[in-house]
Structure 1
């Protein structure tokens, strides 16, 4: 089964702007993925209000960029082929913009994860380290001096974050689900 692709960063950003949401597209995707990875409810209709911690927010419109974001994200996190992607500014954007997008994604993930998982999530030692590393990355102040080397480093850090998110999802969602099936 083919996974739905993420909508373009620019489409999500435009929809957030039209909703007057003071959130970056990457940060929203990070929040959604953190929420889902921390065990937050998979609820297509109410995910936006849950992730934004605002029960008064209306559900997103079906087939909108935000709806596509939810469908693609849930499918990718659950996929056995590890096809999970981060919603970041396009590759043709300056490395500074993409780096800022990655930091925003990490901040969003940490917030969403904490919201859903609570104070003591069931993390392996490897996941605890990955979460701490993600927090250090989110708090980083990036400098850009060599665009080519910076772009390469950004790709490596992005891959680390991608794998860390999958690991956290595995510990908090897939592991407990499999344990329930065994009982």
Structure 2
């Protein structure tokens, strides 16, 4: 996975109107909702036909390739692209909520109005939408740090669950037919 700073630099270079965390959330939601990774994924995801496809081995290309591989990995190696633990609570929580906003929006574009979700998947999507509407807090204590770590883990598992409902379950159903 490319470093957050590399992805941020490429986003600024291309003058994209998203943060690295939000872009990664978008990419994850897009893939979890059933879209496939094609060369023009960036322009399709950001709804801007003028965007060029990420160059081979560019930070955005590496981000897409690693993310797609992680989502399909049976070892649950999937990780969120977020600021490191030494960043402020406000920066980390803000990035997490940006990630959720990106995920929910792109998941809706990819999966449509009635995605084939399990009951757990429906609950996870509802919770992600609540997180997407949250605001970062400026400061906190150790209990806030612990809560953020738990929320990050929930978001990671929720994304995997939704990918499982929309992508992996569909593949399994195709094999059975």
Give your verdict on TM over 0.5. Answer: yes
Q: Name the counterpart of 1:3.
A: none
The CA distance in 2 between the partners of 1:141 and 1:99, in whole Å, is 8
- CA drift at 1:138: 1.1
Q: Name the counterpart of 1:25.
A: 20
- CA drift at 1:145: 4.3
- Root mean square deviation of aligned Cα: 1.0
Q: Could you tell me the TM-score, scaled by structure 2's length? A: 0.96
Q: Name the counterpart of 1:79.
A: 73
Q: Gaps (5+ residues) in structure 1?
A: 1-5
Runs ≥4 in structure 1, deviation > 4 angstroms?
none
Q: Gaps (5+ residues) in structure 2?
A: none
Could you report, residue by residue, the CA deviation over 1:148-177 in whole angstroms, capped at 9, with x for unpaired residues? 222211110000000000000000000011
The answer (yes or no) to whether the contact 1:32–1:112 under 8 Å persists in 2 is yes
- CA drift at 1:133: 0.5
Could you report, residue by residue, the CA deviation over 1:12-69 in whole angstroms, capped at 9, with x for unpaired residues? 01110010001100000000000000001221x1111111112221100111110110
- CA drift at 1:134: 0.6
- CA drift at 1:141: 2.4
Secondary structure of residue in 1 paired with 2:128: helix
